[in-house]
Amino acid sequence: MEEKIRNIRKSFNNEIEKVLDNISLEEIRIKYFGKKSEVSDIQSNLKTLSDDEKKSIGALLNELKLEIGNRLNELKSKFDEELLNSKLNEDKIDVSLPGTSISDGSIHPISKVIDEVESLFVSMGYDVVDGPEVEEDRFNFEYLNIPKGHPTRDAQDSFFINEEWLLRTQTSPVQARVMQSKEEKGPIKIICPGKVYRKDNDDATHSHQFTQIEGLVIGENISMSDLKGTLEVFAKSMFGKTREIRFRPSYFPFTEPSIEVDVSCFNCDKKGCPICKNTGWIEILGAGMVHPNVLNMSGYDSNKYNGFAFGMGAERIAMLKYGIPDVRMFYTNDIRFVKQFNRIEGEFK
Ligand code: PHE
């Protein structure tokens, strides 16, 4: 055994001289210290020896292990240091080079419009609510008085997932959701901003995904003039104190009567200009008195309760407000575009 230990030392000393890097060092470590090494062989055979031999061979073996261990550690730190030094040499930093500029972000104009509309309506006592973008047919259509086969379904070319599920084409399903979620049917005042989806071909004025802001008020004895007053406040706040609004008859299955709402042109003040296409008026949203069927289907007694609803496109409002010519600009994530809106705060006030 003594002989064996001497030989191990000899061959280790021989081999370690040839080691030049951490990889071959690891090979040597495994060879001399691994589970199948001669050292561990001797170690496990110690128990077969007499007590005296156990002591002397044990001591010799420990000495050898210490020696090999120290040498391996020594070389490991030497190689690590060499590696670090050569890396530091390679990665020279040229402190005279210009730095990479990290530009700060900016609030997106759509978010600005949503924020502005939200804070206006919250100041009038409305709650802000959310609804799912992946919606059920019954909320997107049926509870809104649009049964299967109804012609207005074609006007809102939908991304159906299967028979019953689709990407919502409007934020109006939130009307039905909020009414149905009320355990005690009572007054409601909400607005709901969110993304909607339609199978449109993208161009300067169409996008397959855009943003709507829905409003719903339910109470007793709500009238068209409440709707008009509310939207007047909205138009003046978004487009300037001197704005007027007008109603034009329209059709939505879930409101009766239905209207489209125009705001007097903020650019020419009704004189006629390219923005209002020489009409003096700009269409900004759709609205109406909630259809009795919609109230009844969502558990409200239409003999007792009524209300109004409105829905607007946030992109359209932002395009008008900030003079943005192409809806696609909202979605290209160009920081130069987004940053411009840092400077214009309340320009119509
Ligand atoms: N949901 C309608 C649309 O997308 C807008 C609308 C909302 C009309 C609420 C009336 C009432 O065109």
Q: For residue 125, what pLDDT is reported?
A: 98
Asked whether residue 285 carries a pLDDT value surpassing 60, the answer given is yes
Task: Indicate whether 250 and 204 sit together in one domain.
Answer: yes
Q: Ligand 1 in contact with 140 (CB < 6 A)? A: no
Residue ending a domain, choose from 88, 119, 150: 88
Residue ending a domain, choose from 88, 120, 149: 88
Q: Ligand 1 in contact with 309 (CB < 6 A)? A: yes
Give the angle subtended at the CA of 26 by the CAs of 12 and 72, to the nearest 5°.
Answer: 55
Closest ligand 1 atom, CA of 286?
A: 8
Condensed to tens digits (0 to 9), the pLDDT of residues 230-252 reads: 999 999 999 999 999 999 999 99
Q: Ligand 1 in contact with 310 (CB < 6 A)? A: yes
Task: Indicate whether 122 and 233 sit together in one domain.
Answer: yes
- Look at residue 347 and tell me if it is in a domain: no
pTM, to two decimals: 0.72
- 245 three-state secondary structure: strand
Asked whether residue 263 carries a pLDDT value surpassing 90, the answer given is yes
Q: Ligand 1 in contact with 174 (CB < 6 A)? A: no
Q: Ligand 1 in contact with 194 (CB < 6 A)? A: no
Higher per-residue confidence, 292 vs 335: 292
Task: Indicate whether 182 and 315 sit together in one domain.
Answer: yes
Task: Indicate whether 237 and 326 sit together in one domain.
Answer: yes
Task: Indicate whether 59 and 203 sit together in one domain.
Answer: no
Q: For residue 122, what pLDDT is reported?
A: 98
Condensed to tens digits (0 to 9), the pLDDT of residues 296-345 reads: 999 999 999 999 999 999 999 999 999 999 999 999 988 889 988 876 55
Task: Verify cis geometry, omega within 30 degrees of 0, for the bond prior to 257.
Answer: yes
Q: Ligand 1 in contact with 255 (CB < 6 A)? A: yes
Task: Indicate whether 205 and 144 sit together in one domain.
Answer: yes
CB 313 within 8 A of CB 212: yes
Give the separation between CA 257 and CA 224, rounded to whole angstroms: 9
CA 129 to ligand 1 center in whole angstroms: 16
Closest ligand 1 atom, CA of 216?
A: 9
- 190 three-state secondary structure: strand
Task: Indicate whether 163 and 310 sit together in one domain.
Answer: yes
Q: For residue 161, what pLDDT is reported?
A: 95
Outline where 183-279 has alpha helix (H). Answer: 224-239
Asked whether residue 346 carries a pLDDT value surpassing 60, the answer given is no
What domain count does the chain have? 2
Q: Pairing state of beta strands 209-219 and 188-197? A: antiparallel
pLDDT bin (cut points 50, 70, 90) of residue 349 is: very low
Residue of the CA atom closest to atom 7 of ligand 1: 311
- Look at residue 128 and tell me if it is in a domain: yes
- Pocket perturbation via mutation, ligand 1, pick of 135, 227, 254 by most ligand atoms within 8 A of CB: 254
Task: Indicate whether 137 and 78 sit together in one domain.
Answer: no
Give the separation between CA 316 and CA 205, rounded to whole angstroms: 9
What is the edge-to-edge ordering of all strands in the sheet holding 209-219?
127-128, 188-197, 209-219, 306-313, 281-290, 255-264, 245-252
Task: Indicate whether 231 and 331 sit together in one domain.
Answer: yes
Task: Indicate whether 265 and 300 sit together in one domain.
Answer: yes
Give the separation between CA 272 and CA 284, rounded to whole angstroms: 17
Task: Indicate whether 243 and 298 sit together in one domain.
Answer: yes
Give the angle subtended at the CA of 285 by the CAs of 275 and 224, to the nearest 5°.
Answer: 130
Condensed to tens digits (0 to 9), the pLDDT of residues 122-166 reads: 999 999 999 999 999 999 999 999 999 998 887 778 999 999 999
Asked whether residue 104 carries a pLDDT value surpassing 80, the answer given is no
- Look at residue 215 and tell me if it is in a domain: yes
Closest ligand 1 atom, CA of 175?
A: 9
Residue of the CA atom closest to atom 5 of ligand 1: 311
- Look at residue 101 and tell me if it is in a domain: no
Closest ligand 1 atom, CA of 285?
A: 5
Element (H, E) at 73: helix 51-90
Closest alpha carbon to 224 in 208, 245, 247: 247
Q: Ligand 1 in contact with 311 (CB < 6 A)? A: yes
CA 93 to ligand 1 center in whole angstroms: 60
- Pocket perturbation via mutation, ligand 1, pick of 172, 211, 212, 231 by most ligand atoms within 8 A of CB: 172
CB 330 within 8 A of CB 110: yes
Q: Pairing state of beta strands 188-197 and 127-128? A: parallel
* Radius of gyration, alpha carbons of the chain: 38
Give the separation between CA 333 and CA 339, rounded to whole angstroms: 11
- Mean local confidence (pLDDT), 70-89: 92
Token pair in block for residue 66: 């210490």
For the chain, the maximum distance between any two Cα atoms, rounded to a whole number of angstroms, is 116
Condensed to tens digits (0 to 9), the pLDDT of residues 69-79 reads: 999 999 999 99
Condensed to tens digits (0 to 9), the pLDDT of residues 1-40 reads: 889 999 999 999 999 999 999 999 999 999 998 888 888 8
Task: Indicate whether 127 and 42 sit together in one domain.
Answer: no
Q: For residue 278, what pLDDT is reported?
A: 95
Closest ligand 1 atom, CA of 258?
A: 10
What average pLDDT is seen over the chain?
93
Give the separation between CA 227 and CA 124, rounded to whole angstroms: 13
Containing structural domain, residue 43: 2-88
- Look at residue 66 and tell me if it is in a domain: yes
Residue of the CA atom closest to atom 10 of ligand 1: 287
CB 42 within 8 A of CB 98: no
Give the separation between CA 313 and CA 185, rounded to whole angstroms: 29
- Mean local confidence (pLDDT), 255-261: 98
Q: For residue 345, what pLDDT is reported?
A: 55
Element (H, E) at 37: none
Neighbours of 41 (CB within 10 A): 12
- Look at residue 98 and tell me if it is in a domain: no
Q: For residue 234, what pLDDT is reported?
A: 97
- Look at residue 99 and tell me if it is in a domain: no
Closest ligand 1 atom, CA of 196?
A: 4
- Mean local confidence (pLDDT), 174-193: 97
- Range with the poorest average pLDDT among 57-66, 133-142, 178-187, 303-312: 57-66
Q: For residue 155, what pLDDT is reported?
A: 73
